[in-house]
Amino acid sequence: MTSVIERLRGDGPAFSVEFFPPRDEADEAVLWKAIRELEPLDPAYMSITYGAGGSSRDGTIRSIARVATETTLCPMAHLTAVDHSVSELRNVIGWYAAVGVRNILALRGDPPGDVYGDWVPHPEGLTYAEELVELVRSLGDFCVGVSAFPYGHPRSADLESDTKHLVRKFRAGADFAIAQLFFEAEDFLRLRDRVAAAGCDALVLPGIMPLTTLRTLHTTIKLSGAPASQRLLDRLEPFSGDPRAFRAAGIDWVTELCEKLIAEGVPDLHFYTFNRSKATREVVTRLGLVPARA
Ligand SMILES: Cc1cc2nc3c(=O)[nH]c(=O)nc-3n(C[C@H](O)[C@H](O)[C@H](O)COP(=O)(O)OP(=O)(O)OC[C@H]3O[C@@H](n4cnc5c(N)ncnc54)[C@H](O)[C@@H]3O)c2cc1C
């Protein structure tokens, strides 16, 4: 099975898609509808996030196993250090390998309950994602990704230390990073430049949210950790009372953002799908990133 990094070294720009684990049967049906609709568009890889609770974590393992065995997609499983001892982490990594998943996004995770609360490591666990990268690497031939933050991680003192810690994750063995949400192409490109200026040539991929509703805009603002750019607000706010017009303007905005990123040579656009496929399909089709047969 090809790895994420091998897929990213293919010809031309590609796209990838991220999902979260289903909570119940209805959720599962929604997730699989989206997966089956995106599969023919040949994303470079697909990933499933890793939650804080046991049932959500089981959902990640079950779903990624099904992707590995029942689809043509290249699967990547997220994994966090939250509430896990090192031996539990070894077990999860072993389960991933057993079901054929060789790509892992290694994350520290947020403190459960209050994402801005103090991080308390498990007494027999890990403190930083860098250590999880090392652990995954030590256990087999995995391709490893990590997270990156265009405006700096909320807990980083400044962009300099944030970049230093990101580069440490690459030096520990990460093959690539996926960026948290951002508003302007330049915000992402500055992150990429900081990594390059630190002497590191690892791939950093932009994370893209299709802005289809006011809610997705607010989620983007919350997750990015930065205020929305005035240019974006000027484009979308006039339509806040008209969902159809808002969606059209949001898809236009995201398509233009992706065009700028492709022009700057990004090898992959990573879409946060929220387990729906329509908006992502629209954007990647407009960008010409789908195979002719699809
Ligand atoms: C693409 C993407 C996918 C994600 N998927 C998930 C998911 O599936 N599940 C989930 O729960 N969360 C997920 N997250 C959120 C992520 O877990 C949180 O943002 C978390 O707070 C940070 O995780 P990290 O891996 O970046 O941590 P780290 O890289 O460990 O960084 C955490 C903080 O510690 C600092 N730091 C890092 N190393 C050191 C060091 N050696 N010494 C001192 N300080 C250091 C960093 O600068 C940063 O401020 C995702 C985020 C992104 C961008």
Which of these is catalytic: 18, 130, 131, 134? Answer: 18
Residue 32 covered by a domain: yes
Residue 43 covered by a domain: yes
* Domain that residue 227 falls in: 4-286
The residue behind tokens 């196993």 is 65
Q: What percent of the chain is helix, strand and coil (3-state, nearest 5)? A: 45, 15, 40
Q: 98 is written with which tokens?
A: 């057993």
What H or E segment, with its residue span, contains residue 176? strand 176-179
* DSSP β-bridge partners for residue 76: 47
Give distance in angstroms: CA of 217 to centre of ligand 1.
22
Check if 70 is active-site. Answer: no
Three-state SS at 162: helix
Q: Give the per-residue pLDDT at 293.
A: 66
Q: For residue 70, what are the contacts with CB-CB under 8 A and spacing of at least 6?
A: none
Q: What is the CATH number of the domain that holds 139?
A: 3.20.20.220
Is pLDDT above 90 for 44?
A: yes
93-127 confidence digits (pLDDT tens): 999 999 999 999 999 999 888 888 889 899 999 99
Of all protein residues, the one whose alpha carbon is nearest to atom 27 of ligand 1 is: 108
Number of independent structural domains in the chain: 1
Give distance in angstroms: CA of 149 to centre of ligand 1.
9
Q: Are 274 and 27 in contact (CB under 8 A)?
A: no
Three-state SS at 111: coil
Percent of the chain with pLDDT over 70: 99
Give distance in angstroms: CA of 27 to centre of ligand 1.
27
Is pLDDT above 90 for 66?
A: yes
Ligand 1 pocket member 62 (CB < 6 A):
no
Distance separating alpha carbons of residues 41 and 65, to the nearest angstrom: 21
Residue 294 covered by a domain: no
Q: Provide the pLDDT confidence category of residue 235 given band limits of 50, 70 and 90.
A: very high
DSSP calls for 128-160 = SHHHHHHHHHHTSS-EEEEEE-TT--TT-SSHH
Phi-psi region of 139 (alpha: psi -120 to 50; beta: other; left: phi over 0): alpha
Residue 236 covered by a domain: yes
Residue 72 covered by a domain: yes
Distance separating alpha carbons of residues 208 and 59, to the nearest angstrom: 24
Q: Give the per-residue pLDDT at 10.
A: 82
Q: Are 143 and 3 in contact (CB under 8 A)?
A: yes
Residue 291 covered by a domain: no
Ligand 1 pocket member 59 (CB < 6 A):
no
Residue 292 covered by a domain: no
Residue 200 covered by a domain: yes
**Weakest-pLDDT range from 12-21, 116-125, 185-194, 258-267:** 116-125
Residue scoring higher pLDDT (40 or 52): 40
Q: How far apart are the first and last CA of the chain?
A: 22
Q: What angle in degrees, to the nearest 10, is found between the helix axes of 159-171 and 185-197?
A: 60
25-35 confidence digits (pLDDT tens): 999 999 999 99
Record the pTM. Answer: 0.97
Q: Give the per-residue pLDDT at 12.
A: 84
